[in-house]
Amino acid sequence: MAKVTEAVEALARPIVEEQGCTLWDVEYAKEAGVWYLRLYIDKPGGISIDDCEAVSRPVSDLLDRADPIEGSYTFEVSSAGADRILRKPEHFAAFLGSEVEVKLYRSRDGRKDWVGTLSAYEDGLVTITTVQGELTFEKKDVAQTRLYVRI
pLDDT surpasses 80 at 112: yes
For 11-29, what is each residue's pLDDT tens digit? 999 999 999 999 999 999 9
CATH assignment of 89-147, among 3.30.70.1730, 3.30.460.10, 3.90.245.10, 2.30.30.180: 2.30.30.180
pLDDT band at residue 151 using 50, 70 and 90 as cut-offs: confident
Render the chain in DSSP notation, one character per residue. -HHHHHHHHHHHHHHHHHTT-EEEEEEEEEETTEEEEEEEEE-TT---HHHHHHHHHHHHHHHHHH--SSS--EEEEEE--TTPBP-SHHHHHHTTTSEEEEEEEEEETTEEEEEEEEEEEETTEEEEEETTEEEEE-GGGEEEEEE----
pLDDT surpasses 90 at 1: no
For 40-86, what is each residue's pLDDT tens digit? 999 999 999 999 999 999 999 999 999 999 899 999 999 999 999 99
CATH 3.30.300.70 assigned to 2-79: yes
Q: What residue ranges do the domains of the chain occupy?
A: 2-79, 89-147
